Amino acid sequence: MSDAPPKMIPDPDGLNAEFYQNIADGTLCLRRCADCGAVHHPPRYLCATCGSEQVEWSAISGKGRIFSWTISHRPVDPGWAVDGPWATVVVEMEEGPRLVGGFRGAPNEALELDLPVRVVLERETESFGRLYFTPDV
């Protein structure tokens, strides 16, 4: 049994709360414009491409490629100390937007630009989930 402190659970609001609620419910969704089809992130009420108000949550593939990453050795939140050093990745999703998440399922040395990855969703509470990416082989 670990005596590490628990990880801080963020308390997002507005559309960000809806984004993380969807993750807690097991689906990765981004905002998609019903008029022009554009997909955006971070979530917005209006389409950033055409200005339409007809923007809704839409499940996406969960697949993408590593765009960038950083390795953290010292956590700001002590709850993450047991996981370090860990990688935070920026993934360009098949649908276009880039998402930030943790990296799992392979050592940090496996990270390379354009590495194919898929999302792994982890429910933390009733209303908040974290997203991670793992190599998609």
**In the window 17-46, what residues touch Zn ion (CB under 5 A)?**
33, 35-36, 38
Beta-strand pair 63-72/86-93: antiparallel
Among 22, 27, 52, 88, which residue sits at the site for Zn ion (rule: CB under 5 A)? 52
State the nearest-atom distance from the C-beta of 36 to Zn ion, in Å.
3
Among 23, 29, 30, 47, which residue sits at the site for Zn ion (rule: CB under 5 A)? 47
State the nearest-atom distance from the C-beta of 45 to Zn ion, in Å.
12
Dist CA 31 CA 51 (whole Å): 13
First to last CA, the chain: 33
Cβ neighbour number for residue 73 with a 10 Å cutoff: 8
* Residue number, 53 or 112, with CB nearest to Zn ion: 53
Backbone angles phi, psi at 84, to 5 degrees: -80, 160
| Contacts with Zn ion, residue ranges (CB under 5 A) | 33, 35-36, 38, 47, 49-50, 52
